[in-house]
Amino acid sequence: MSSIPEFSEQDAKWMAKAIALAKKGRFSTTPNPCVGCVIVNDNNIVLGEGCHIKAGTEHAEVHALSQAGDHAASATAYVTLEPCAHFGKTPPCALALIDAGIKRVVIAALDINPLVAGKGVQMLRDAGIEVAQGLMATTAMELNLGFNTRMSTGRPYVVLKMAASLDGKTALQNGISQWITSPQARKDVQLERAKACAILSGSGTVLADNPKLNVRPDELPEYAASAFLCRERQPLRIIIDGKNQLHNNLRIVSDGQASLVYNLKENKTLKGDNVAQVSQTSSSSTHVDLAAMLDDLGQRQINLVWVEAGSKLAGALIENQLVDECVLYLAPKFLGGGARELLSTQVNENLEQAVAGQITSLTQVGSDIKIVCRLPKAVG
């Protein structure tokens, strides 16, 4: 039975710095994970640091090694994720650490990507490098929930955004809903969108609101805007349109940004090179198969899906246990009788049928409360 490595206060200090560096990639690394690296000598002097910015460009370890230069020999590297051991768009980072003469590597989390999955650690150890793993592993894993979910399940991490009044309503009976939440909450939604690989909605919402479903960099904090612009593309827009109601006058069709439509048969009236369709022609259902859609999105290397949908689609995702996390913005308002419900679901007969989650965050955003809740997922 292997013993847990002992880590010093200095180890914790430098790994915390590496994690802070990794967070810089939250808005730009998709479909790759966020990774940070710090290289330190025996006198606890930082020789180099870096983070992964964009898929296809240098990884965190390479940026840090480039700064350290020849001084990297006999130094310690602190990395938030196991260094890769395979040739992809860039050479293996494990090999770069070996060639630089690094003597010790401290890793927060192992990479569950089958192409790595311990191979990076083994490559380092085979080269005689001391490797210690597990320092701040949980924090490092949280940085890459989408990537890790796709690697372990084949599906993206699904975040359902909802906004409601204190009496659980989303709009007045006549449909008026702008704006229930505060300007600060709406800016926070932009920040959450910027982390996503894709933004999902239903045709009903698109027809009613004609939204762009994109990220507006001018509404992001400066640090997020500059990072998001490095990505050089908007999140993929995904629309579920089982009845082929979408038309060419909608923004998501005409603005030139990429959209992906899931339907039961091809909508031959939709035009535009930016719009792709996935038609589930073999489905015997009258509704788009949401689980099959997520499987397909996983194949397309989508790590995190941000959902902004109406009550029916939101309810279907919840009922089918396809949501990993809910983000609810709760406004200090009461919309009163006849107002529209947050979710449209089947009627439960007892409390045991209720979907129970775990609140992981509770913060005030403007005049609203932002609640983050993790939900159980369906097995299989």
Do residues 75 and 68 touch, judged by C-beta distance below 8 A? yes
Do residues 62 and 48 touch, judged by C-beta distance below 8 A? no
Q: Which residue has the tokens 């599906």?
A: 155
Rg (CA), the chain: 23
- The residues carrying an active-site annotation are 61
Angle between helices 93-100 and 60-68 (to 10 degrees): 20
Do residues 207 and 245 touch, judged by C-beta distance below 8 A? yes
Signed CA dihedral, 366, 368, 369, 370: sign only:
negative
Please tell me the distance from the alpha carbon of residue 167 to that of residue 322, in angstroms, as a whole number: 25
For the beta sheet containing 259-263, the strands, ordered from the edge strand earlier in sequence to the opposite edge, are: 275-279, 259-263, 236-240, 198-202, 304-307, 157-165, 325-331, 368-374, 358-365
Phi, psi of 67 (to 5 degrees): -70, -40
Phi, psi of 199 (to 5 degrees): -120, 125
Q: What is the pLDDT along the chain (380 residues), one digit of tens a residue?
A: 455 668 899 999 999 999 999 999 999 999 999 999 999 999 999 999 999 998 888 899 999 999 999 999 999 999 999 998 866 666 788 999 999 999 999 999 999 888 888 889 999 999 999 999 999 999 999 999 999 999 999 999 999 999 988 888 877 766 666 788 899 999 999 999 999 999 999 999 999 889 999 999 999 999 999 999 999 899 999 999 999 999 999 999 988 899 999 999 999 999 878 999 999 987 677 889 999 999 999 999 999 999 999 889 999 999 999 999 999 999 998 877 777 787 776 777 777 777 778 999 999 999 999 999 999 875 44
